[in-house]
Structure 1
Amino acid sequence: MNPHRVQLLVSIRNRDEVLPALNGGCDILDLKEPLNGALGMVDEEILHSISDYFFEQPVNVPLSLALGELVEQKEKHITPTIPSEVTYLKMGLSETKQSDHWYSDWLNCRQRIEVTNQATFQWIAVAYADWKQARSIPPEYVLAAAIKSRCAGLLIDTYHKQGQSLLNCMCLEEIQRLVDRAQKYNLKIALAGSITSDHLESLSDISPDIIGIRGAACVGSQRTNQVQKLAVKTFRKELDRQYTFMESG
């Protein structure tokens, strides 16, 4: 066990899932559409709906937004309008393995989004544990790029969501090395990838800042189902138990 408080990120797909996630005990809301892939971006209507919700009912937790994959953003002719409530942005690097200029493409895309929105965001680099299947850049290269480009953090996730979790794709020693190096450079480190409460004991000797869930937060543990308060609360309880978090004082 590793006694420190790990933040819980819950991925939501619409405004109806905000309250179940918050009331279940999440610390970060992450907006994405699971039907659109690992980091599927929601459509513009949902984005505006969430923005309106936050305006009407201010929420005291950060909001993260998934932008899909870099290759998808490059193909778009319209730069997305990002609500002012969003703190963190992230996009995946699948299908970049054969590219000699993925890093400059990544930086240019980030810059274009910030210039268009006249805002500065905290960027989270995404390393896929199943990077070979995703035809992505190896995780250690992504981390090096995150450090070089002053990202706020690194997310280690899985690209494929059918039947394999983070621990099926990457051993604990590999995860620990990435976590240690990221934290050495003051990057927040988040772990995700079909993580369930059953995985938490194995992960409890590692010290991530954040653990992200979607399937484990949903009815029947199905990532395309609705987020459920009880599911989030159950995961939160086990997360705190495994990391033996105790308030000081």
Structure 2
Amino acid sequence: MSSTRKDKELNLQHTQLLVSVRNGAEIAPAIMGGCEILDFKDPGRGALGQVDETTLAMLLEYCRQSSVTTPLSMALGELCEWKTEQKGLKLPPEISYLKLGFSQCGESRLWVKEWRNLIQRIEESSGHQHEWIAVAYADWKRADSLSPFEILEAASENRCAGLLIDTFSKQNGRLLDLLSPDFLSELIELARSRELKIALAGSLRIQDLEILADLKPDIIGIRGAACFGHNRTSEIQESAVRTFRKQMNFSRESMRSG
């Protein structure tokens, strides 16, 4: 095995795997398969679809009863949805990471102020300071969002814990179809200089891991790759999660070919 190949395998051993689940039945397969961050998301409601209050209560109850110790994350949808729908949801302190997108904010001059107000509103309600993850879209123009570099700078100034690069549309290209490794590398280097964790998602597949190993993200997020037939709206499969995590850790085929 070449040293280059070995380095790539070791790099991804230190990258955490985030798996998005939509109900309690998907938690055990995700964790048993090797999930290291458990994310709550409704894939039927978009890239960052927020689970409803009843589902959230059931997910948290499952975690409590099963003594789940895996860090918890939750998608909160888009900033514009909180403004137009006047959402209300009390988030418990068990949820460490909160992800928020900025579609339809491309022409807004007030989006950063509105975001700060939302953070204050949620944390006053929960009585807890969460770790916020700003979401930038690879297809930001389609999403009418801001460029990843603009969101990165705002995240740095807004005491965020990290930056997630995802895809807004799940029908118009995967992450590595839309952004080149050089673009992502520059973005990741800048994020690290701002002390932000960097997460990559967007219909990622096992075959993407060699490129991702060079990029060395802190977190890789999957939904479709964890599901039957790579269909993000089907059920999570333990075997699919385990295969993906195993490939992140170590590849016997890579050893042979190296």
CA offset digits 1:116-145 (Å, max 9, x no partner)? 222110000111011011000110010001
Between 9-18 and 106-115, report the one with greater CA deviation: 106-115
In the alignment, which of 117, 125, 150 is matched to residue 116 of structure 1? 125
In the alignment, which of 151, 155, 162 is matched to residue 146 of structure 1? 155
Contact 1:92 1:126 in 2 (8 A): yes
Contact 1:79 1:112 in 2 (8 A): no
State the distance in 1 between where 2:227 and 2:234 align. Answer: 6
2:103 aligns with 94
5+ unaligned residues in a row in structure 1: which ranges? 243-249
User: Does residue 219 in structure 1 map to residue 228 in structure 2?
Assistant: yes
Tell me the amino acid that sits aligned with residue 123 of structure 1: W
| Per-residue deviation, 1:11 | 0.4
| Per-residue deviation, 1:23 | 0.3
- Give the SS at the match of 1:61: coil
Contact 2:166 2:201 in 1 (8 A): yes
State the distance in 2 between where 1:223 and 1:190 align. Answer: 19
1:181 aligns with 190
State the distance in 1 between where 2:70 and 2:194 align. Answer: 24
Tell me the amino acid that sits aligned with residue 82 of structure 1: L
In the alignment, which of 34, 48, 70 is matched to residue 57 of structure 2? 48
| Per-residue deviation, 1:78 | 4.2
- Give the SS at the match of 2:145: coil
In the alignment, which of 187, 207, 212 is matched to residue 203 of structure 1? 212
| Per-residue deviation, 1:83 | 2.6
State the distance in 1 between where 2:149 and 2:87 align. Answer: 31
5+ unaligned residues in a row in structure 2: which ranges? 1-6, 252-258
Moved over 6 A (4+): none
User: Does residue 16 in structure 1 map to residue 36 in structure 2?
Assistant: no
2:3 aligns with none
User: Does residue 237 in structure 1 map to residue 250 in structure 2?
Assistant: no
1:245 aligns with none
Contact 1:123 1:152 in 2 (8 A): yes
The TM-score normalised by the length of structure 2 is 0.91
Contact 2:73 2:95 in 1 (8 A): yes
Between 54-63 and 187-196, report the one with greater CA deviation: 54-63
| Per-residue deviation, 1:168 | 1.0
Tell me the amino acid that sits aligned with residue 236 of structure 2: V
1:156-175 alignment to 2 at 5 Å? 156-175=165-184
Structure with more of its chain in helix, by fraction: 2
CA offset digits 1:9-56 (Å, max 9, x no partner)? 000001100000000001000100000000000111110001111221
State the distance in 2 between where 1:169 and 1:83 align. Answer: 35
Between 137-146 and 53-62, report the one with greater CA deviation: 53-62
| Per-residue deviation, 1:163 | 4.6
Contact 1:216 1:223 in 2 (8 A): yes
| Per-residue deviation, 1:80 | 1.0
- Give the SS at the match of 1:58: coil
Tell me the number of residue pairs that the alignment of Structure 1 and Structure 2 aligns.
242
Tell me the amino acid that sits aligned with residue 154 of structure 2: A
In the alignment, which of 27, 45, 48 is matched to residue 36 of structure 1? 45
State the distance in 2 between where 1:206 and 1:78 align. Answer: 36
Contact 2:99 2:132 in 1 (8 A): yes
CA offset digits 1:48-86 (Å, max 9, x no partner)? 001111221221211000010000011233421113320
Contact 1:166 1:195 in 2 (8 A): yes
